[in-house]
Amino acid sequence: MNKLFRPLRIATYNVHRCIGRDGRYDPERTLSILRDLDSDVLALQEIRWRPDDALHILNDFAGRLGYFAVPGPTLLDHTGHYGNALLTRLPVGSVRRIDLTVPKREPRGALDVRLDSDQGALMVVATHLGLLPSERRAQIRQLLGHIEKKSTVTNVLMEDLNEWFLWRRPLRWLYSFFEATPAPATFPSGFPMFALDRIWVRPRQRLRELIVHKKPLARKASDHLPLRAVIELGEG
Protein backbone atom coordinates (compact mmCIF):
# COMPACT_ATOMS: atom_id res chain seq x y z
CA MET A 1 0.00 0.00 0.00
CA ASN A 2 1.40 3.39 -0.98
CA LYS A 3 2.04 5.86 1.79
CA LEU A 4 -0.10 8.99 1.67
CA PHE A 5 1.76 12.28 2.03
CA ARG A 6 0.11 15.39 3.45
CA PRO A 7 0.88 18.53 1.46
CA LEU A 8 2.66 21.26 3.39
CA ARG A 9 1.60 24.89 3.29
CA ILE A 10 4.35 27.49 3.33
CA ALA A 11 4.14 31.28 3.03
CA THR A 12 6.27 34.40 2.89
CA TYR A 13 5.11 37.82 4.07
CA ASN A 14 6.77 41.21 4.43
CA VAL A 15 4.84 42.54 7.43
CA HIS A 16 6.24 46.11 7.14
CA ARG A 17 6.82 46.38 10.91
CA CYS A 18 3.07 45.70 11.35
CA ILE A 19 2.38 49.17 9.97
CA GLY A 20 -0.41 49.20 7.40
CA ARG A 21 -1.09 51.33 4.38
CA ASP A 22 -3.19 53.50 6.67
CA GLY A 23 -0.06 54.32 8.71
CA ARG A 24 -1.39 52.48 11.75
CA TYR A 25 0.75 50.13 13.83
CA ASP A 26 -1.51 47.12 14.43
CA PRO A 27 0.09 43.77 15.37
CA GLU A 28 -3.35 42.26 15.93
CA ARG A 29 -4.20 42.87 12.30
CA THR A 30 -0.97 41.18 11.22
CA LEU A 31 -1.70 38.29 13.57
CA SER A 32 -5.12 37.81 11.96
CA ILE A 33 -3.52 37.49 8.53
CA LEU A 34 -0.94 34.97 9.77
CA ARG A 35 -3.74 32.94 11.33
CA ASP A 36 -5.71 33.06 8.10
CA LEU A 37 -2.68 31.85 6.10
CA ASP A 38 -2.71 28.70 8.29
CA SER A 39 0.71 27.60 7.01
CA ASP A 40 3.12 25.02 8.37
CA VAL A 41 6.05 27.37 7.76
CA LEU A 42 5.95 31.18 7.60
CA ALA A 43 8.85 33.40 6.51
CA LEU A 44 8.51 36.99 7.73
CA GLN A 45 10.42 40.06 6.64
CA GLU A 46 10.61 43.53 8.21
CA ILE A 47 9.46 42.31 11.59
CA ARG A 48 10.54 44.27 14.66
CA TRP A 49 10.65 42.87 18.18
CA ARG A 50 11.96 43.62 21.66
CA PRO A 51 14.38 40.93 22.87
CA ASP A 52 14.11 41.99 26.52
CA ASP A 53 10.32 41.56 26.71
CA ALA A 54 8.87 38.13 27.49
CA LEU A 55 5.83 38.98 25.39
CA HIS A 56 7.64 40.63 22.51
CA ILE A 57 5.85 40.41 19.19
CA LEU A 58 7.72 37.47 17.68
CA ASN A 59 7.18 35.16 20.64
CA ASP A 60 3.66 36.50 21.04
CA PHE A 61 2.79 35.57 17.46
CA ALA A 62 4.41 32.15 17.84
CA GLY A 63 2.68 31.38 21.14
CA ARG A 64 -0.77 32.44 20.06
CA LEU A 65 -0.60 30.62 16.73
CA GLY A 66 1.16 27.45 17.89
CA TYR A 67 4.51 27.99 16.16
CA PHE A 68 8.16 27.82 17.11
CA ALA A 69 9.92 31.12 16.35
CA VAL A 70 13.35 31.35 14.71
CA PRO A 71 14.63 34.95 14.77
CA GLY A 72 16.99 36.30 12.13
CA PRO A 73 17.69 39.93 13.05
CA THR A 74 19.75 42.08 10.72
CA LEU A 75 19.59 45.33 12.71
CA LEU A 76 20.03 45.34 16.48
CA ASP A 77 19.88 48.31 18.85
CA HIS A 78 18.56 49.31 22.28
CA THR A 79 15.04 49.93 20.92
CA GLY A 80 14.64 46.45 19.46
CA HIS A 81 15.66 43.98 16.79
CA TYR A 82 14.58 44.09 13.15
CA GLY A 83 14.85 41.74 10.22
CA ASN A 84 13.76 38.24 9.22
CA ALA A 85 12.04 35.48 11.14
CA LEU A 86 10.66 32.02 10.58
CA LEU A 87 7.59 30.57 12.27
CA THR A 88 7.27 26.81 11.99
CA ARG A 89 5.06 23.96 13.15
CA LEU A 90 7.65 21.43 11.98
CA PRO A 91 10.49 20.31 14.26
CA VAL A 92 13.64 22.38 13.83
CA GLY A 93 16.75 20.32 13.14
CA SER A 94 19.30 23.11 12.75
CA VAL A 95 19.54 26.87 12.28
CA ARG A 96 22.22 28.87 10.52
CA ARG A 97 22.25 32.64 10.01
CA ILE A 98 23.93 33.73 6.79
CA ASP A 99 25.41 37.23 6.54
CA LEU A 100 24.50 38.78 3.17
CA THR A 101 25.66 42.29 4.00
CA VAL A 102 27.35 44.28 1.25
CA PRO A 103 29.83 46.95 2.47
CA LYS A 104 28.32 50.42 2.99
CA ARG A 105 24.79 49.09 2.58
CA GLU A 106 22.04 48.17 5.08
CA PRO A 107 22.83 44.89 6.85
CA ARG A 108 21.11 41.93 5.23
CA GLY A 109 20.94 38.27 6.13
CA ALA A 110 19.22 34.95 5.56
CA LEU A 111 17.91 32.23 7.82
CA ASP A 112 18.92 28.72 6.79
CA VAL A 113 16.74 26.28 8.72
CA ARG A 114 16.49 22.50 8.46
CA LEU A 115 12.99 21.28 9.24
CA ASP A 116 12.12 17.65 9.85
CA SER A 117 8.88 15.91 8.95
CA ASP A 118 7.57 12.39 8.53
CA GLN A 119 8.00 12.95 4.78
CA GLY A 120 11.68 13.83 5.02
CA ALA A 121 13.86 16.87 5.60
CA LEU A 122 13.10 20.32 4.25
CA MET A 123 15.75 23.03 3.95
CA VAL A 124 14.24 26.52 4.11
CA VAL A 125 16.14 29.72 3.37
CA ALA A 126 14.27 32.92 4.26
CA THR A 127 15.65 36.32 3.31
CA HIS A 128 15.10 39.94 2.27
CA LEU A 129 17.49 41.15 -0.40
CA GLY A 130 19.06 44.57 -0.89
CA LEU A 131 17.80 47.55 -2.87
CA LEU A 132 20.70 47.95 -5.31
CA PRO A 133 21.17 45.60 -8.30
CA SER A 134 24.81 45.02 -7.35
CA GLU A 135 23.72 43.95 -3.85
CA ARG A 136 21.21 41.46 -5.16
CA ARG A 137 23.67 39.96 -7.61
CA ALA A 138 26.18 39.28 -4.84
CA GLN A 139 23.48 38.00 -2.47
CA ILE A 140 21.87 35.63 -4.99
CA ARG A 141 25.26 34.20 -5.97
CA GLN A 142 26.01 33.54 -2.31
CA LEU A 143 22.62 31.96 -1.62
CA LEU A 144 22.60 29.72 -4.68
CA GLY A 145 26.08 28.47 -3.88
CA HIS A 146 24.92 27.67 -0.36
CA ILE A 147 21.75 25.87 -1.50
CA GLU A 148 23.62 23.88 -4.15
CA LYS A 149 25.61 22.17 -1.40
CA LYS A 150 22.36 20.80 0.09
CA SER A 151 20.80 19.55 -3.13
CA THR A 152 20.10 16.06 -1.76
CA VAL A 153 16.98 17.29 0.10
CA THR A 154 14.03 19.48 -0.84
CA ASN A 155 15.10 23.13 -0.80
CA VAL A 156 12.83 26.15 -0.47
CA LEU A 157 13.85 29.78 -0.88
CA MET A 158 11.30 32.32 0.42
CA GLU A 159 12.14 35.96 0.01
CA ASP A 160 11.32 39.55 -0.56
CA LEU A 161 13.45 39.63 -3.69
CA ASN A 162 13.29 43.41 -4.22
CA GLU A 163 13.80 42.76 -7.95
CA TRP A 164 11.57 44.96 -10.10
CA PHE A 165 12.73 43.97 -13.59
CA LEU A 166 12.21 40.55 -15.14
CA TRP A 167 15.33 40.61 -17.30
CA ARG A 168 17.86 41.24 -14.52
CA ARG A 169 20.57 38.65 -13.96
CA PRO A 170 19.51 37.55 -10.43
CA LEU A 171 16.13 36.45 -11.74
CA ARG A 172 17.68 34.63 -14.67
CA TRP A 173 19.98 32.79 -12.26
CA LEU A 174 17.06 31.86 -10.02
CA TYR A 175 14.96 30.55 -12.90
CA SER A 176 17.91 28.53 -14.15
CA PHE A 177 18.54 27.03 -10.71
CA PHE A 178 14.93 26.39 -9.61
CA GLU A 179 13.32 26.08 -13.08
CA ALA A 180 10.30 28.05 -14.30
CA THR A 181 8.15 29.18 -11.37
CA PRO A 182 5.01 31.34 -11.33
CA ALA A 183 5.52 34.92 -10.16
CA PRO A 184 2.19 36.52 -9.17
CA ALA A 185 2.29 40.21 -8.25
CA THR A 186 2.35 41.05 -4.52
CA PHE A 187 3.37 44.73 -4.44
CA PRO A 188 1.97 47.26 -3.77
CA SER A 189 -0.77 45.54 -1.80
CA GLY A 190 -3.51 47.96 -2.77
CA PHE A 191 -2.97 47.39 -6.49
CA PRO A 192 -0.28 44.74 -6.98
CA MET A 193 1.83 45.10 -10.12
CA PHE A 194 5.26 43.72 -9.13
CA ALA A 195 6.31 40.21 -8.10
CA LEU A 196 8.68 41.23 -5.31
CA ASP A 197 7.85 38.30 -3.04
CA ARG A 198 8.89 34.85 -4.24
CA ILE A 199 8.79 31.19 -3.27
CA TRP A 200 11.16 28.83 -5.08
CA VAL A 201 11.21 25.04 -4.63
CA ARG A 202 13.81 22.51 -5.73
CA PRO A 203 13.00 19.91 -7.06
CA ARG A 204 10.48 22.03 -8.95
CA GLN A 205 7.86 19.24 -9.21
CA ARG A 206 7.31 19.40 -5.45
CA LEU A 207 5.63 22.79 -5.86
CA ARG A 208 1.91 22.10 -6.33
CA GLU A 209 0.27 25.51 -5.90
CA LEU A 210 1.27 29.15 -5.55
CA ILE A 211 -1.27 31.85 -4.71
CA VAL A 212 -1.38 35.41 -3.42
CA HIS A 213 -3.43 36.08 -0.28
CA LYS A 214 -5.63 38.96 -1.48
CA LYS A 215 -8.23 39.32 1.25
CA PRO A 216 -9.26 42.91 2.09
CA LEU A 217 -7.48 42.94 5.45
CA ALA A 218 -4.19 41.92 3.79
CA ARG A 219 -4.51 44.81 1.34
CA LYS A 220 -4.46 47.20 4.31
CA ALA A 221 -2.07 45.56 6.78
CA SER A 222 1.20 45.97 4.85
CA ASP A 223 2.52 47.32 1.57
CA HIS A 224 3.11 43.69 0.49
CA LEU A 225 0.61 40.86 0.08
CA PRO A 226 1.44 37.42 1.49
CA LEU A 227 2.42 34.66 -0.93
CA ARG A 228 1.49 31.07 -0.07
CA ALA A 229 2.51 27.76 -1.64
CA VAL A 230 1.57 24.12 -1.29
CA ILE A 231 4.41 21.62 -1.57
CA GLU A 232 4.67 17.84 -1.34
CA LEU A 233 7.78 16.15 -0.02
CA GLY A 234 6.69 12.64 -0.94
CA GLU A 235 7.53 10.74 -4.07
CA GLY A 236 6.94 12.44 -7.38
Domains and CATH numbers, the chain: 8-231 (3.60.10.10)
Q: State the Cα torsion 211-213-219-225 to the nearest 10°.
A: -60
Parallel/antiparallel/unpaired status of strands 109-117 and 92-99 = antiparallel
The percent of residues above 90 in pLDDT, for the chain, comes to: 79
| pLDDT value of position 1 | 36
The pTM assigned to this predicted structure is 0.94
| pLDDT value of position 75 | 85
| pLDDT value of position 55 | 53
d(CA 50, CA 43): 19
What is the per-residue pLDDT across 185-230, written as a single tens digit (0 to 9) for each?
999 999 999 999 999 999 999 999 999 999 999 999 999 999 999 9
Identify which has the larger pLDDT, 140 or 79.
Answer: 140
Parallel/antiparallel/unpaired status of strands 227-231 and 8-14 = antiparallel
Q: At what angle do helices 27-37 and 57-65 cross, to 10 degrees?
A: 40
- Cβ(183)–Cβ(207) below 8 Å: no
Question: 167 pLDDT band (50/70/90 cuts)?
Answer: confident
Q: Using the predicted structure, report yes or no on whether residue 90 has a pLDDT greater than 50.
A: yes
